[in-house]
Structure 1
Amino acid sequence: MTPDYRFAYDPGTIVYGRNCVSRLEHELERIGAERALVVCGSTVGATDAVIDPVVAGAGDRLAGVFDETTPEKRLSTAFDGADRMSEDDIDALVSLGGGSSLDIAKVMSVLAASERPRGEIESTFERERAIAIPDSTLPPIVALPTTLAGSDLSAIAGITVREGGLTRGALVDDRLMPAALCYDPALFETTPHEILCASAMNGFDKAVESLYGSNATPITDGTAVRSLRLLGRGLPRLGAGDRDQDTLHDAIMGTVLAQYGALGGERITASLIHSFGHGIARGYAIQQGGAHGIVAPHVLRYLFDNVDARRDLLAEGVDVDTTGTPEETATAVVDAVTEIRDALGLPSRLRTIDDLSKRDLPAVAADIADDVFIPNVPPGLEPTEAELEGVLRNAW
């Protein structure tokens, strides 16, 4: 029996196609932007094959480039960007790159609209791990993704402060949804192989978790199963170095479908794998997608040992047989996810993370237990820190 649910979602306009960034000026005009600022990292900003088509596509509506974002997503960077917006009279942002640049752009839009002093915002964030979003209209964002992490179609932004220790927080508001998103395969072709493959695991796991998360709906089931079918076909080819039209289509569209359900509605379906990814990647030298690749099979095994976790629907998504026993189905799903991870060439053991020690695992488990997505674990599961540490040790 399908439980009662409500699914409210107002996504940005999705534009897909090779060289679609050449029409960026049209999208900026459509949202009323006259002076747009590109927000990206220094590597993207210095890579002609990425930045030049964007500059050309934005035309006279481009006011400049802010290329100071980093994977750490520091609040100080967002403040610097907001200052640049004020100095150059910016009324819209163009996020170019991975999820870090988009998160910084979202926080920049909030800071630009806020009248609160910087010190007050920083102290509140340290205390509450959040930033108050003003009631006024926020500067709109056009997102130009170059990775497959799947954080684009969302109204969420993550941010960190490292003063006096690491403080992580998140902003959630419908106004943080990008007004438009341009998925241009030509941009994805410029992304280094290792980065693209690691990000793909992050997007893949969003689809996996949309099926077993406590707030799954029939709508998210549909997008997630179709996503897994496309990604199951495209990611092994991507991992082998293939970037032809069909491979990129399956990888990009599979990621769009994964996040369309997972991040779009009122109740985000990201769950336990993402909690593990946060606990590992935000404290140690590994991308979140790489962390997901290491722990995903072990997290799934832990889930299947304790609850059903909708293993039959997961099996449908990853295209494995469901005619055997529940234990055989669970094993087949874990094996299929492991094969995707290995095809992408991702690390398989936590011990390969240079700055992670086995002595750190209890602290990482405590961090995971406190993660924002822990309440989304499957019904009937109440993970303890000891159990979470056990999963980490199995992945060691």
Structure 2
Amino acid sequence: MSDSEHAFEFEFSPGKIRCERGGVAGVGDELARRGLERALVVCGSTVGSTPEVVDPVREGVGDRLVGVFPETTPEKYLGTAVEGAERADEENADALVALGGGSSLDTAKVVSALRSHDGPPEAVASDAIENGSLSVAEDGEPTPIVAVPTTLAGADLSTVAGVTLAMGPEDDRDGEAPGGGIADPRLMPTALCYDADLFATTPESVLTASAMNGFDKGLEALYTRNATPITDGTATRGLRLLRHSLPALADGRGRGADADGDGAGAANPDDPLAQAVTGTILVQYGVSTPGQYKLSIVHAFGHGLTEHADVHQGRAHAAVVPHVLRYLFEGVDARRELLAEALAVPAGGSEGRGASDEELADGVVDAVVEVRDGLGLPSRLRDLDGIERDDLPEVAETTAADGLMDTVPDGLDPTTDDLLAVLEAAW
């Protein structure tokens, strides 16, 4: 932040947010308000073949539905987006409904970007692979997106998307196709529907891993050098909700409607899932802003680890985040007092005095560990499939080169050796 926390800039234009159980029934009305008549649903094959998830969306879109494209994958190959763009062109779609987790949301944004160009999607993609980057056409109009998330990773209120710059696995046999990103304010979804009934259908292992990813967005929004008083407020409230609701998700508790069945959402302590959904919205609010991106070192580690192994980013975060926090607190303040407030860490120290800096730091780490363990996620890197100890130096180098390292707290200058030490501690 600035030398004064009261001097800041904040530019954020989120789409309309609707958060309530059964809210997906209103997707067609949102499309109608925007004059959008032909919507293509973009999702993965599992979601597309699961009636409990896709049928309410079909019904909600209603007679504006032109089809379902159930082809997204975690690899997010550019070729998949090309196929989606071609299908959207065939159906003359004027809107995309992105249904599912981060892969589907990202793929829908890439489809939207491809369609902003005049040329055929395959030709645009070929140019992107050759040039090493993809963008929205300067004079083009990306296809409007309505996001319907089903995981808690917090990838939806965002103007960015990840993509693998290869047409498919046949062009990436060695697994070294470059990962790419696309960022443009015009890729912010025009509307977002958070329906806890849909989140309740997500497999527990997927939901809990995504929850750790979303939870860490709240931590990073507070200690990043790009923090603002606005995001301090939303992240603090979001973390408080997540701190108390996430552990209830791992054993199936709290995944139904609230006790009265009235959809009261985050205000009702008997509905932890709705609280978790609301918390996820809040922690990601304002994270994706032009020139002021607020994710940081934990997500850089996540990128480094997932680039070297086929592991969910949330599971990678789970193993490293306590050690990242200890590293931060050893070097800088990292706003531990605000983090402690958000995570309900007791402010009183021993002998009736206020908590010391060390006690606050320990309390923050302990609270994060409790959330992680409550979600049933790995506590050590050695427990992640595909990660070997010999890989750690290369992971440290990849992490050091990640663009998110530019947003670490002021006063911190991590070296590759520092990052390797964190990974070794997490091993």
Q: TM-score, normalised by structure 2?
A: 0.89
Could you tell me which residue of structure 1 aligns to residue 316 of structure 2? 291
Q: Is the 8 A contact 1:11 1:264 kept in 2?
A: no
Name the CA distance, whole Å, in 2 between partners of 1:171 and 1:250. Answer: 31
2:419 pairs with 1:391: no
Q: Is the 8 A contact 1:125 1:169 kept in 2?
A: no
Counterpart pick for 1:359 among 371, 377, 390: 390
For structure 2, the residue ranges without an aligned partner over 5 or more in a row are 259-270, 348-353
Identical amino acids, percent of aligned pairs: 53
Q: CA deviation at 1:239?
A: 2.2
For structure 1, the residue ranges without an aligned partner over 5 or more in a row are none
User: More deviation in 354-363 or 91-100?
Assistant: 354-363
User: More deviation in 1-10 or 285-294?
Assistant: 1-10
Counterpart pick for 1:377 among 385, 408, 417: 408
Name the CA distance, whole Å, in 1 between partners of 2:129 and 2:404. Answer: 19
Cα deviation, 1:99-153, whole Å, max 9, x if unaligned, reads: 1101000000110121246456435445444435342221100000000000111
Instruction: State how 1:164-179 maps to structure 2 within 5 Å.
Output: 165-179=176-190
- Tell me the amino acid that sits aligned with residue 179 of structure 1: T
Name the CA distance, whole Å, in 1 between partners of 2:146 and 2:124. Answer: 29
- Tell me the amino acid that sits aligned with residue 152 of structure 1: D
Q: Is the 8 A contact 1:110 1:134 kept in 2?
A: no
- Tell me the amino acid that sits aligned with residue 373 of structure 1: L
Could you tell me which residue of structure 1 aligns to residue 216 of structure 2? 205
Cα deviation, 1:327-356, whole Å, max 9, x if unaligned, reads: 121111111101100000001111112211
Name the SS for the 2:147 alignment partner.
strand
Could you tell me which residue of structure 2 aligns to residue 180 of structure 1? 191
Distance 1:129 1:136, change over 3 A: closer
Could you tell me which residue of structure 1 aligns to residue 152 of structure 2? 148
- Tell me the amino acid that sits aligned with residue 155 of structure 1: T
Could you tell me which residue of structure 2 aligns to residue 70 of structure 1? 73
2:76 pairs with 1:86: no
Name the CA distance, whole Å, in 2 between partners of 1:318 and 1:276. Answer: 22
Q: Is the 8 A contact 2:116 2:136 kept in 1?
A: no
Could you tell me which residue of structure 2 aligns to residue 337 of structure 1? 368
Name the CA distance, whole Å, in 2 between partners of 1:124 and 1:266. Answer: 22
Instruction: State how 1:227-238 maps to structure 2 within 5 Å.
Output: 227-238=238-249
Q: Is the 8 A contact 2:220 2:298 kept in 1?
A: yes
Name the CA distance, whole Å, in 2 between partners of 1:31 and 1:288. Answer: 35
**Matched residues, number:** 396
2:280 pairs with 1:255: yes
Instruction: State how 1:37-48 maps to structure 2 within 5 Å.
Output: 37-48=40-51
Could you tell me which residue of structure 2 aligns to residue 306 of structure 1? 331
Name the CA distance, whole Å, in 1 between partners of 2:377 and 2:163. Answer: 25
2:232 pairs with 1:221: yes
Could you tell me which residue of structure 1 aligns to residue 266 of structure 2? none
- Tell me the amino acid that sits aligned with residue 235 of structure 2: A
Could you tell me which residue of structure 1 aligns to residue 351 of structure 2? none
Q: TM-score, normalised by structure 1?
A: 0.96
Name the SS for the 2:96 alignment partner.
strand
Name the SS for the 2:365 alignment partner.
helix
- Tell me the amino acid that sits aligned with residue 203 of structure 2: P
Name the CA distance, whole Å, in 2 between partners of 1:366 and 1:126. Answer: 25
Q: CA deviation at 1:3?
A: 4.8
Name the SS for the 1:4 alignment partner.
coil
User: More deviation in 295-304 or 323-332?
Assistant: 323-332
Could you tell me which residue of structure 2 aligns to residue 29 of structure 1? 32
Name the SS for the 1:332 alignment partner.
helix
Name the CA distance, whole Å, in 1 between partners of 2:134 and 2:89. Answer: 22
Name the SS for the 1:282 alignment partner.
helix
- Tell me the amino acid that sits aligned with residue 341 of structure 2: E
Counterpart pick for 1:133 among 130, 137, 158: 137
Q: CA deviation at 1:282?
A: 3.4
User: More deviation in 382-391 or 282-291?
Assistant: 282-291
Counterpart pick for 2:58 among 55, 58, 70: 55
Cα deviation, 1:215-259, whole Å, max 9, x if unaligned, reads: 001111001110111001111112232114320121000000001
Cα deviation, 1:22-79, whole Å, max 9, x if unaligned, reads: 1211111112211110000000000010011111111110000000001111111111
Name the CA distance, whole Å, in 2 between partners of 1:124 and 1:108. Answer: 13
- Tell me the amino acid that sits aligned with residue 26 of structure 2: R
Instruction: State how 1:259-278 maps to structure 2 within 5 Å.
Output: 259-264=284-289, 266-278=291-303
